[in-house]
């Protein structure tokens, strides 16, 4: 009896501790360098005062305002102290919370602000926000650049929302807000010398970005009945700069040059190669008035934004207008420039010289590498890691924003989500991202300043929708940017994340709720005895149950605990269960441990270099592609697809299947049809089946079409699949399934 009782007490204690642990400092995100939870709480009540060293008064005021307390000039009267500790690392802090008082120590203001936001985050995790659990924390960031980007051109968002975005950033220790203020669908900043930028180029004729594109992409003017858009006045922008700075955040404005500038050329067409509006997206570099126009604009930008870095865009500039422009060609010749990339680089170098003369630094998207980097430019690497590696090897600083940071991608099964630009980036994949490219040498790694989440808003017409795409994934980016690599751990992050839903709810954030959808991964078992099936859920500690015979899973079906192996064809049905019932839709997956796995493939036409996936191993590796063609399992074709599988010997063939993907947005289409041919000798092929489809190329959804056929009395060694590419875009396929 005695034994049982003490056991029960222990269990209860464990329960109490684990409940308590749910809201203590151990739940902080980003995870601090060191953190000890301690017993007791600090009570916030009106007689508590905040004291700070003189230069940090603004931080003290912010903290006092958030806690509804007052600032005291005397240290003695205060029980929350912001103190200087010169020995602490840059941007680092020590936070001590005891029942008697709170001290935040730091060697610089950034550190003091970080400590303050750790305190505010801890408070925001409490059921009773006047009781802060005691803790002792020492902390400093891994990276000096921790950014969130927001595109306000595709859709305009009000100052109140920008402040909310900054509030959330600060709570998660981001220190840079990259404000994408200009792009073809709308200019968003008051510029006195060129008033049409805000009066006209900030207002388009149609609200929805896609409707606008469909209707000729025209601009209207402020006040017109149909006008959709907006801009930030100088007063607005300065207020954002001030608001962010008080929260430890630098605002980097982006002014897109020389591409993505259709809106500017719509209202100031004299800076376009043809001199006509609505024709080009690129500034005419050969026009001697273009540079003064741009530096005039930048001068006004510099007067608003004190940030050392100024982002000049530089991405995705087309070269055709320059190729056909006498002025650009004359300049190219005069300056002995090899091609249009060098022409672009010529302009960017002049912009860098201008910014340098004003004490600022240029940052641009990785295309600024093409044609030669300006001497001191910093690169924002977005097209994978390649740009980062080149730049760092050349001694340039880099900010990492590759696909793993693109929060405009789908975060769950696209068929369950509002329309997005594409991709597939669940939070676990965001978290798995490591910002320092593995190939960099020790002395090159220091050039990786940090990482940033990007939010392009083509498909985010409302602030609610921006929040939905940003959260909770931005929280994973925050930890990637702050926390030391060795301290990162996904299960631990996921456990801590559970406490942060309260914070997001209290801040009225329309965050994406973890879905019951299960991602299924299939790969041959190590001994190739079958397919190993992995089921991935973003629900915390899910109860997953499954069947492999196509029957509906119930609460008594097999419980998923680790990957399992199935043979041949298996119709897998799985679901997360809660209180005995399935959550959401049942996930169905057809596993295929088929007979072509490991067989040789002969490529009669070759894949595109842009999407080589696993090259010649892709189509018979037994691994299926996911929801995105950039997962290195989808082989991309710009040509007709024509591939032969060599089964090794003549044998009966009962079934052949191949899947293609369609995603109209980025120009991915199905083939016209799929034809299957067979041969015993590899040279004489007999047509076996021609499989048509009726999927419209206009369908905007991401969709997958499996072309499958049963074959009777067919013997072959070689199976050839021909799929014509008739739409000129990409075709993607992942596996040739043969039984």
Task: Count CB atoms within 10 A of the CB of residue 225.
Answer: 5
Of residues 16 through 75, those in contact with ligand ACM by CB under 6 A are none
CB of 129 to ligand ACM, least distance (A): 39
**What sign results for the dihedral spanned by CA atoms 408, 361, 281, 177?**
positive
Closest to ligand ACM by CB, 94 or 348: 348
Q: What is the DSSP string of 362-414?
A: EEEEGGGGTT---TT-EEEE-STTHHHHHHHHTT--EEE--GGGBTTEESS-G
Alpha-carbon distance 374 to 398, whole Å? 14
- Residues labelled as active-site residues: 183, 260, 316
Q: How far is the CB of 315 from ligand ACM (least distance, A)?
A: 4
We find the least distance from the C-beta atom of residue 409 to ligand ACM, in angstroms, to be: 12
569 phi/psi in degrees, rounded to 5? -90, 130
Between residues 316 and 616, which has the closer beta carbon with respect to ligand ACM?
A: 316
- Is 148:174 a contact under the CB 8 Å cutoff? yes
Minimum CB distance to ligand ACM smaller for 382 or for 517: 382
Cβ distance to ligand ACM smaller for residue 280 or 594? 280
Give dist(CA 631, CA 47) in Å, integer.
Answer: 57
Distance CA 551, CA 557 (A): 10
Q: Tokens 């860098």, residue?
A: 352
- Cβ at position 183, least distance to ligand ACM in Å: 9
Collapse the DSSP code of 697 into the 3-class scheme (helix H, G, I; strand E, B; otherwise coil) and give the result.
Answer: coil
Please state the closest distance from residue 436 (CB atom) to ligand ACM, in A.
20
Contact mark string toward ligand ACM, 700..739, x via CB under 6 A: ----------------------------------------
Query: What is the nearest approach in angstroms of ligand ACM to the Cβ of residue 188?
Result: 17
Q: Binding mask 286-325 vs ligand ACM (x if CB under 6 A, - otherwise)? A: -----------------------------xx---------
682: number of Cβ within 10 Å: 13
Which helix (H) or strand (E) covers residue 150, if one does? Answer: strand 145-151
Q: Any contact of residue 382 with ligand ACM (CB under 6 A)? A: yes
Closest distance between ligand ACM and the C-beta of residue 408, in Å? 9
Closest CA to 298 of 341, 353, 375: 353
- Site residues for ligand ACM, window 635-674 (CB under 6 A)? none
- Smallest distance, ligand ACM to C-beta of residue 739, A: 42
Beta-bridge mates of residue 184:
none
Contacts (Cβ under 8 Å, ≥6 apart) of 408: 420, 421, 423, 454, 455, 456, 457, 458, 459, 460, 469
Taking 3-state DSSP, the helix, strand and coil percentages for the chain, each rounded to the nearest 5, stand at 30, 30, 45
User: Are 472 and 504 in contact, with CB atoms under 8 Å apart?
Assistant: yes
Q: Inter-axis angle of helices 463-470 and 159-171, to 10 degrees?
A: 20
Region for residue 314 given its phi and psi (left: phi exceeds 0; alpha: psi -120 to 50; beta: otherwise): left
Cβ-based nearer residue to ligand ACM, 315 or 616 = 315
Number of residues counted as binding ligand ACM (CB under 6 A): 4
Nearest approach, Cβ of 210 to ligand ACM (angstroms)?
A: 18
- Measure the CA–CA gap between 704 and 608, rounded to whole angstroms: 20
Spatial neighbors of 430 by CB under 8 A, at least 6 apart, are 404, 405, 407, 473, 476, 477, 480
CB of 732 to ligand ACM, least distance (A): 20
Nearer to ligand ACM, 153 or 205 (CB): 153
Whether the CB-CB separation of 545 and 554 falls below 8 Å is answered with: yes
Strand partners, 520: 535
Distance between CA 95 and CA 112 in Å, rounded? 9
- Taking the least distance from each CB to ligand ACM, the nearer of 108 and 404 is 404
Between residues 403 and 514, which has the closer beta carbon with respect to ligand ACM?
A: 403
Whole-number Å distance between alpha carbons of 348 and 363: 10
What is the C-alpha to C-alpha distance for residues 208 and 199, in angstroms, rounded to an integer?
19
Closer CB to ligand ACM, residue 455 or residue 719?
Answer: 455
In the complex, the smallest distance separating the C-beta of residue 217 from ligand ACM, rounded to whole angstroms, is 18
Task: Give 120 or 409: the residue with its C-beta nearer to ligand ACM.
Answer: 409
Comparing CA positions, the residue from 126, 36, 118 lying closest to residue 82 is 118
Among 145, 203, 365, 564, binds ligand ACM (CB under 6 A): 365
If we measure between CA atoms, which residue out of 123, 111, 133 comes closest to residue 32?
A: 111
Cβ closest to ligand ACM, residue 52 vs residue 379 = 379
132 neighbors 42 (Cβ within 8 angstroms): yes
Where does this chain bind ligand ACM (CB under 6 A)? 315-316, 365, 382
């Amino acid at each position: 009896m005695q034994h049982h009782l003490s056991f029960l007490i222990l269990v209860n204690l464990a329960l109490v501790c684990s409940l308590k642990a749910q809201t203590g400092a151990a739940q902080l995100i980003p995870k601090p360098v060191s953190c000890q939870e301690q017993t007791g709480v600090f009570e916030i009540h009106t007689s508590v005062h905040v004291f700070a060293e003189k230069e940090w008064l603004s931080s003290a005021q912010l903290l006092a305002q958030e806690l509804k307390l007052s600032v005291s000039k005397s240290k003695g009267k205060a029980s929350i102290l912001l103190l200087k500790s010169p020995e602490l690392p840059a941007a680092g802090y020590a936070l001590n919370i005891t029942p008697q008082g709170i001290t935040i120590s730091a060697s610089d203001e950034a550190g003091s602000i970080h400590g303050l936001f750790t305190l505010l985050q801890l408070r925001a995790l409490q059921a009773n926000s006047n009781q802060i659990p005691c803790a002792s924390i020492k902390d400093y960031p891994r990276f000096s650049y921790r950014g969130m980007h927001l595109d306000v051109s595709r859709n305009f968002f009000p100052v109140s929302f920008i402040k909310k975005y900054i509030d959330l950033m600060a709570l998660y220790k981001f220190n840079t807000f990259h404000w994408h203020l200009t792009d073809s669908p709308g200019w968003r900043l008051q510029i006195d010398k060129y008033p049409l930028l805000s009066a006209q180029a900030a207002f388009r004729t149609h609200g929805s970005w896609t409707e606008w594109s469909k209707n000729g992409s025209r601009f209207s003017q402020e006040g017109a009945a149909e006008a959709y858009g907006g801009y930030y006045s100088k007063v607005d922008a300065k207020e954002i700069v001030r608001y962010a700075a008080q929260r430890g955040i630098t605002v980097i404005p982006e002014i897109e040059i020389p591409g993505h500038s259709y809106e500017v050329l719509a209202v100031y067409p004299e800076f376009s190669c043809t001199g006509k509006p609505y024709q080009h997206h690129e500034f005419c570099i050969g026009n001697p008035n273009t540079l003064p126009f741009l530096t005039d604009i930048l001068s006004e930008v510099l007067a608003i934004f004190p940030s050392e870095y100024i982002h000049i865009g530089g991405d995705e500039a087309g070269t055709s207008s320059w190729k056909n422009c006498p002025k650009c060609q004359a300049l190219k010749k005069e300056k002995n420039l090899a091609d249009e990339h060098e022409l672009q680089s010529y302009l960017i170098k002049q912009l860098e010289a201008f910014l340098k003369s004003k004490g600022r630094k240029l940052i641009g998207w990785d295309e600024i590498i093409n044609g030669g980097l300006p001497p001191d430019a910093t690169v924002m690497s977005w097209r994978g890691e390649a740009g980062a590696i080149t730049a760092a090897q050349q001694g340039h600083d880099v900010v990492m924003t590759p696909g793993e940071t693109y929060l405009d991608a789908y975060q769950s099964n696209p068929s369950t989500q509002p329309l997005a630009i594409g991709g597939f980036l669940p939070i676990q994949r965001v978290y798995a991202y490591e910002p320092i490219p593995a190939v960099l040498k020790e002395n090159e790694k220091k050039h990786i300043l940090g990482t940033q989440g990007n939010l392009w808003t083509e498909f985010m017409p409302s602030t609610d929708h921006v929040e939905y795409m940003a959260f909770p994934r931005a929280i994973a980016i925050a930890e990637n940017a702050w926390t030391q690599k060795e301290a990162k751990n996904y299960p631990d992050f996921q456990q801590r994340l559970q406490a942060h839903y309260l914070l997001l709810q209290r801040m009225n954030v329309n965050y994406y709720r973890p879905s019951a959808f299960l991602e299924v991964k299939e790969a041959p078992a190590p001994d190739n005895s079958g397919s190993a099936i992995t089921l991935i859920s973003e629900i915390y500690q899910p109860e997953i149950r499954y069947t492999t015979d196509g029957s509906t899973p119930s609460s008594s079906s097999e419980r998923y605990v680790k990957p399992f192996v199935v043979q041949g064809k298996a119709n897998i049905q799985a679901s997360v269960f809660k209180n005995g019932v399935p959550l959401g839709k049942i996930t169905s997956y057809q596993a295929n441990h088929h007979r072509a796995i490991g067989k040789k493939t002969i490529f009669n036409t070759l894949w595109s270099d842009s999407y080589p996936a696993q090259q010649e191993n892709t189509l018979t590796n037994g691994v299926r592609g996911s929801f995105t063609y950039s997962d290195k399992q989808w082989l991309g074709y710009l040509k007709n697809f024509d591939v032969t599988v060599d089964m090794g010997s003549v044998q009966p063939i009962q079934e052949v299947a191949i899947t293609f993907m369609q995603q109209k947005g980025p120009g991915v289409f199905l083939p016209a049809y799929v034809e299957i041919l067979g041969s015993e000798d590899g040279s004489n092929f007999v047509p076996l089946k021609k499989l048509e489809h009726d999927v419209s190329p206009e369908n905007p959804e991401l969709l997958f079409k499996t072309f499958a056929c049963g074959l009777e009395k067919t013997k072959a060694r070689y199976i050839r699949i021909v799929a014509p590419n008739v739409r000129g875009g990409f075709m993607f396929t992942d596996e040739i399934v043969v039984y």
